[in-house]
Amino acid sequence: MDITGRKLFVKALQEEGVDTIFGYPGGTVTDLFDELYKTDAINLVLPRHEQGLIHEAEGYARSTGKVGVCLVTSGPGATNIITGLADAHYDSIPLVCFTGQVPLGLIGNDAFQEVDIVGMTRSITKYGVTVRNREELGRAIKMAFYIAQSGKPGPVLIDIPKDIQTAAGSADYPDHVDIRGYKPSSGVHVGQLKRAYKMLRTAKKPLILAGGGINIARANDKLQAFVEKEQIPVVTTIMGKGAIPTTHPLYIGNCGMHGKYAANMAVSQCDVLFSIGTRFNDRITGDLNEFAPKAKIVHIDIDTASISRNVVVDVPVVADADVALEKLLEWAQPKKMDKWMEQIHEWDESNPLAMRRDRGMSPQMIMEHINREFPHSIYVTDVGQHQMWATQYLELDENSQLITSGGLGTMGFGFPAAIGAKIANPDRNVVCITGDGGFQMNIQEMATAVTQGANVTICLLNNYYLGMVRQMQELFYGKRYSATCLRKRPSCPADCKGPSENCPPYVPDFVRLAESYGAYGIRVTKEEEIEVAFAEAKKHTNAPTIIEFMIATEELVLPMVKSGNPMSEMILK
Amino acid sequence: MSEMKKRWIALYVENQVGVLAKVSGLFSAKSYNLQSLTVGTTEDESISRMTISVESDDITFEQIKKQLNCMVEVIKVIDLTDVTLRMKEMMFVTITDLNEAQMTEAFQIAQAMRVDVVDIGIQSVMLECKRTEHKHNDLIALLKKKFKHISVVRGGAVAVESISTECK
């Protein structure tokens, strides 16, 4: 018996095991929403803006590994998710995004709320298609879920014209699809992996560089077992943080632009860099000619196109991190690395990661309190200085997780992503670490959090500035604070070099803002107040709590490597 | 960095809306130097074959092939750079404002260059050329020197692996 497209849509979601969908209605998707209204198997979350919506779906997907599902209308609904698609594409997050489209006959007419969303998003989706035939709908949805989560995960966009939603057609939803142009690699070339392993065995100063691929593949345990057996030190990218527990004796720290001194020195001095699941982003490598200059490089990655793109590698291995590590574990043998480890410890002792403690409440102190008060949690950051401090000072173990916008660096990501993570993990603590700039980019999601009862603890580090850019202006642009002070008004002096008593008040008042949404707000000005604030936040189980930390305006993220410089040239103080 | 040189790719893709835009978009998005791209369906109407030429060094070319392979709609990527090929381009050249002597010269050139005169007016001729891209470049250069007003319509090269003979 034939059924409508809208009925097949909901049937498909159920067969894919979708329990939550992030949706914002509009003219071209009213039929799909009407169908969702009739089912109680799927939790429909209504955000307050489509950008918030897609970041929420990302938070859901990043925290569970499951596909995040979005449903938005055509035109502005669709264009508002573009930033999130790019974000998910960069960080390999599985999303399936459904967009409504004007009826087939109106496409190309500049109809009301018509945009060519598939065309616009071609370079930032793994796959995208407009369904032009009712009989293709089932296969298109099946393809979307399969492509989004297989191989290197990513976002898929399915654009459904309004008349396809109401047209009758086959009720069949395929249980698998065969796509002749898409065969994600599943195994590993054992010969090639053996070459890589042999190279590692001959090394005197081996180093493992773990990227986000370890976390995506959930290969953390295997990596830990492997390095413990071999006794090889580990550095991570920001996306790879947590690949092994951060308190592990073999863990050095993050490398890259704001990495730890010892981690960047280890990369500069190692003789074999055994990298897994990273694409050697410029924030990791700095000057490519000076990157790991003494090392032979092994690169294991599921994405062939990531291999030898930025850094030419000696042994490429195309494989899922989990599959490769499983094989490596079979071969692993103990290795003595005392001298090399000693050297690394010396570097670490000479320049440990630490902020001054004599200027009041520092971001490091806040992170330390989070580590103590909210262990085994999901930490979600926005983008900016606070993000770097979080990636430097948060401790992660097998029961905790860091979610951050690593590739695209999307301000406004953190808070909605935290809401999505909380919706997916109602029994876990979710701590959102954000800044006063990025938080305001999706501040409207306060309403979503309150209505969903998502009691996220928001640690908002307020320094009155867009701090990361302000830091660059301070260090490299003669303190010309162009458009980075969030208190600045037309009456301010044009050449302001920093805050004074005459500064206008900050807006908004985050505590009162929280209250206006029916949430909670606490302002913390000194370290002694942190513990009390956290205890208070934990009591609030029905709505989020904003804890506004008034931190020093002049705080810098250090160490720092200037963009394009070699990683060994770190600004330390 | 290895030398920049001209390379050829044959690409089998799904014959669907948007695939040409996706493939050509890759070249602009990633600043790859696309020189020509032709496309047509194969014996299987659901599959199109593209012939693509790019100017690049070795590393970039490897990357281009990998990026194309990543696309869901791309069925097969064949590197034709060091393969014996049959390669032809379709080109029309219209030469106008010719006096009698020039008209004779145009016919002579056509004959010598083995291209056909397919249309003629009182002061103009049209050449239909089915040689290689390279030969066409030479022909255009010559015609530009000889005549004031020429107009060129090129189709881009189509290439196929040869069965036996060496013919580039």
Q: Could you count the other beta carbons within 10 Å of the beta carbon of residue A479?
A: 12
The pLDDT of A156-165, averaged and rounded, is: 98
Is residue B168 scored above 60 in pLDDT? no
Q: Are A304 and B62 a contacting pair at CB < 8 A? A: no
Preferred mutation among B13, B46, B70 to probe A, highest tally of A CBs within 10 A: B70
Element (H, E) at B78: strand B74-79
Instruction: For tokens 């007419």, name the residue.
Output: A109
Is residue A524 scored above 70 in pLDDT? yes
State how far the alpha carbon of A21 is from the alpha carbons of A41, A60, A258, B138, B160, in Å. 11, 10, 36, 61, 48
Distance CA A194, CA A202 (A): 12
Is residue A42 scored above 80 in pLDDT? yes
| Phi/psi-derived region of residue B62, left when phi > 0, alpha when psi is between -120 and 50, beta in every other case | alpha
Is residue A211 scored above 90 in pLDDT? yes
Q: How far is A408 from chain B (nearest CA, A)?
A: 16
Q: Which pair of tokens denotes residue A14? A: 């159920």
The pLDDT of A205-227, averaged and rounded, is: 97
- A446 has catalytic annotation: no
Q: Residue A217: which pLDDT band, with cuts at 50, 70 and 90?
A: very high
Of B59, B62, B72, the CB nearest to A179: B72
Q: Which pair of tokens denotes residue A268? A: 């500069």
Query: Is the preceding omega at residue A508 within 30 degrees of 0, hence cis?
Result: yes
Distance CA A557, CA B74 (A): 44
Give me the percent of chain A exceeding a pLDDT of 90.
96
In A33-69, which positions are buried (b, 16+ CB within 10 angstroms) versus exposed (e)? bebbeeeeebeebebbbbbbbbbbbbbbbbbbebbbb
User: How are the residues of chain A apportioned to helix, strand and coil, as percentages rounded to the nearest 5?
Assistant: 40, 15, 45
Q: Could you count the other beta carbons within 10 Å of the beta carbon of residue B156?
A: 17
- Cβ within 8 Å of residue B46, ≥6 positions away: B14, B15
Element (H, E) at A127: strand A127-130
Chain A (135-164) residues lying within 8 Å, Cβ to Cβ, of chain B: 147
* Residues from B in contact with A at Cβ < 8 Å: 13-14, 16-18, 21-22, 25-26, 29, 59, 62-63, 66-67, 69-76
Q: Residue B3: which pLDDT band, with cuts at 50, 70 and 90?
A: confident
Longest CA pairwise span in chain B (Å): 57
Mean residue pLDDT across chain A: 96
Q: Is A544 helix (H, G, I), strand (E, B) or coil?
A: coil
State how far the alpha carbon of A360 is from the alpha carbons of A50, A363, A364, A550, A553, in Å. 39, 10, 11, 10, 12
Query: Do the strands B34-41 and B47-56 form a parallel or antiparallel pair, or are they unpaired?
Result: antiparallel
Q: Are A77 and A49 in contact (CB under 8 A)?
A: no
Residue of B nearest to A302 (CA): B70
What is residue B1's predicted lDDT score, i.e. its pLDDT? 59
Residue of B nearest to A305 (CA): B66
DSSP characters over A39-65: -SSSEEE--SSHHHHHHHHHHHHHHHS
Q: How far is B83 from chain A (nearest CA, A)?
A: 23
Distance CA A333, CA A326 (A): 14
Q: Are B123 and B97 in contact (CB under 8 A)?
A: yes
Q: Which pair of tokens denotes residue A61? A: 């997907």
Q: How far is A181 from chain B (nearest CA, A)?
A: 4
What is residue A568's predicted lDDT score, i.e. its pLDDT? 87
Catalytic residue of the set A152, A162, A296, A422: A162
DSSP lists the bridge partners of residue A296 as A272
| Phi/psi-derived region of residue A256, left when phi > 0, alpha when psi is between -120 and 50, beta in every other case | left
Distance CA A530, CA A365 (A): 9
- A98 has catalytic annotation: no
State how far the alpha carbon of A210 is from the alpha carbons of A243, A298, A333, A509, in Å. 7, 12, 20, 41
Amino acid residing at B151: S
Task: Return phi, psi of residue A6, to 5°.
Answer: -65, -35
Q: Are A126 and B73 a contacting pair at CB < 8 A? A: no
Residue of A nearest to B26 (CA): A123
Q: Residue A462: which pLDDT band, with cuts at 50, 70 and 90?
A: very high
Q: Are A181 and B73 a contacting pair at CB < 8 A? A: yes
Distance CA A490, CA A334 (A): 66
Q: Can you say whether the dihedral through the CA atoms of A53, A55, A57, A59 is positive or negative?
A: negative
What is residue A516's predicted lDDT score, i.e. its pLDDT? 98
Q: Which pair of tokens denotes residue A375? A: 């262990």
Strands lying side by side in the sheet with B5-14 = B34-41, B47-56, B5-14, B74-79
Q: Are A305 and B73 a contacting pair at CB < 8 A? A: no
The pLDDT of B37-63, averaged and rounded, is: 96
Q: Where are the beta strands (DSSP E) in A386-539?
A: 401-403, 430-435, 457-462, 520-524
Q: Higher confidence at residue A447 or residue B84?
A: A447
What is residue B166's predicted lDDT score, i.e. its pLDDT? 54
Q: Is A244 helix (H, G, I), strand (E, B) or coil?
A: coil
Query: Do the strands A95-101 and A378-381 form a parallel or antiparallel pair, or are they unpaired?
Result: unpaired
Q: Are A25 and A162 in contact (CB under 8 A)?
A: no
Q: Residue B165: which pLDDT band, with cuts at 50, 70 and 90?
A: low
The one-character DSSP state at A304 is G
The pLDDT of A83-110, averaged and rounded, is: 98
- Cβ within 8 Å of residue A309, ≥6 positions away: A279, A280, B63
What is residue A18's predicted lDDT score, i.e. its pLDDT? 98
DSSP characters over A469-489: HHHHHHHHSTT--TT-BTT--
How big is the A-B interface in CB pairs under 8 Å?
Answer: 43
ipTM of the predicted structure? 0.90
Q: Which among A95, A101, A94 has a CA at the least distance from the CA of A120?
A: A101
Give tens-digit pLDDT for A343-356.
999 999 999 999 98
What is residue B56's predicted lDDT score, i.e. its pLDDT? 95
- Cβ within 8 Å of residue B16, ≥6 positions away: A129, B73
